[in-house]
């Protein structure tokens, strides 16, 4: 009796799944790899992102690093001639990195409000970080974006995601996302947002874990947790290298005479 019931349950689950699948292909997002070790010889790598989604007018793959506080110095003109630091500013909830890879121009996907609501574009970051409108802070936020773009940690690329018709309906895509060499340890969230009728909808979300490994992790941990010992070690190594080279050169010069 029990095997029969199990078989019946399995068949009905498959039938329901088939009906659902026929109605709307489920969204899927895959990362390869899902964990990234930052060793001494890490020089940046590509994360291959692939997936499928129901038919939509467009989609954006958003990649965000862990949020944190960024403390900045503001540069301004002093005495009408010199460019110097004139103040300090703090921005809260700024992601360590932010990339938006879109299937088309962002303006064509939705209005600025709809994009921001879906977490797409720099306005979305500004909305979270700035809160109430403040023109001076907004101007400086734009400067922060410029700084992060210069470091390769922020970027918006339109027409970067190619959607192709998928077997059984919907669309599929595959893209290599370059993770820069300046990437920090932490969790990086990959989100697939589809746009339909000017509105964005989060379809799927995956996490890439970046973790320091091997000698790099050991060195960083020692420098953070045992700073004095690390300093002595650094000085000892430098002294030994300097004196040894001096000694070897002296021997070399004696041999040469």
Partner 1 sequence: MNLSIFLPVAGNTVNLLLPIGLGGIVGFLSGLLGVGGGFLMTPLLIMIGIPATVAAASDSNQIVAASASGAYAHARAGSLDFKMGLLLLIGGVFGGTAGVFVIRLLRALGEADLLIKLTYVVMLGGIGSYMFWESIGALRGRRRDSQKRTRPSLYARVVQSLPLTMEFPRSKVRISALVPIVLGALVGILAAVMGVGGGFIMVPVMVYLLRMPMHVVVGTSLFQILFTCIDVTIMQAAINHTVDIVLALLLLLGSVIGAQLGARAGRRVRGEQLKVIMSVIILSVMIAMVADLISPPEVLVGYKAGH
Contacts to partner 1 by CB under 8 A: 38-44, 70-76, 78-79, 81-85, 88-89, 140, 143-144, 146-147, 150-151, 181-182, 184, 212, 215-217, 219-220, 223-224, 227-228, 230-235, 237-239, 241-243, 245-247, 249-250, 253
Question: How far, in Å, CA of 173 to CA of 54, rounded?
Answer: 12
104, exposed or middle or buried, with CB in 10 Å at 0-12, 13-18, 19+?
A: middle
- Beta-carbon contacts of 44 under 8 Å, excluding residues fewer than 6 positions away, are 178, 179, 180, 181, 183
Q: Judging by DSSP bridges, how do beta strands 82-95 and 45-53 pair with one another?
A: unpaired
CB of 257 to partner 1, least distance (A): 13
Is the C-alpha dihedral spanning 143, 127, 188, 31 positive or negative?
A: negative
Q: Residues, the chain, total?
A: 257
CB of 127 to partner 1, least distance (A): 19
CB of 101 to partner 1, least distance (A): 22
Q: Among residues 82 and 164, whose Cβ is nearest to partner 1?
A: 82
Question: How far, in Å, CA of 223 to CA of 162, rounded?
Answer: 44
Q: Among residues 80 and 197, whose Cβ is nearest to partner 1?
A: 80
Q: Among residues 16 and 147, whose Cβ is nearest to partner 1?
A: 147
CB of 93 to partner 1, least distance (A): 16
Q: In this structure, how many other beta carbons lie within 10 angstroms of the beta carbon of residue 22?
A: 10
CB of 111 to partner 1, least distance (A): 29
């Amino acid at each position: 009796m029990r095997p029969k019931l199990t078989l019946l349950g399995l068949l009905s689950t498959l039938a329901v799944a088939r009906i659902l699948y026929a109605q709307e292909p489920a969204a899927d997002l895959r990362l390869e790899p899902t964990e990234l070790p930052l060793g001494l010889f890490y020089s940046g790598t590509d994360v291959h992102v692939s997936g499928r989604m129901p038919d939509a007018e467009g989609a954006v793959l958003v990649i965000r690093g862990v949020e944190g506080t960024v403390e900045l110095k503001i540069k301004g003109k002093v005495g009408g001639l010199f460019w110097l630091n004139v103040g300090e500013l703090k921005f809260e909830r700024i992601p360590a990195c932010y990339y938006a890879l879109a299937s088309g121009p962002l303006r064509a996907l939705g209005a600025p409000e709809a994009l921001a609501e879906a977490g797409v574009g720099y306005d979305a970051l500004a909305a979270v970080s700035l809160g109430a409108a403040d023109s001076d802070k907004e101007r400086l936020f734009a400067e922060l974006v410029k700084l992060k773009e210069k470091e390769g940690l922020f970027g918006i690329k339109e027409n970067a995601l190619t959607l192709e018709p998928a077997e059984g309906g919907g669309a599929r895509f595959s893209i290599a996302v370059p993770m820069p060499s300046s990437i920090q340890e932490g969790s990086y969230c990959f989100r697939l947002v589809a746009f339909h009728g000017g509105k964005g909808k989060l379809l799927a979300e995956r996490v890439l874990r970046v973790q320091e490994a091997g000698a790099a992790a050991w060195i960083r941990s020692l420098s953070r947790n045992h700073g004095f010992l690390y300093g002595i070690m650094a000085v000892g190594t430098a002294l030994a290298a300097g004196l040894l080279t001096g000694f070897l050169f002296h021997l070399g010069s004696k041999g040469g005479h």
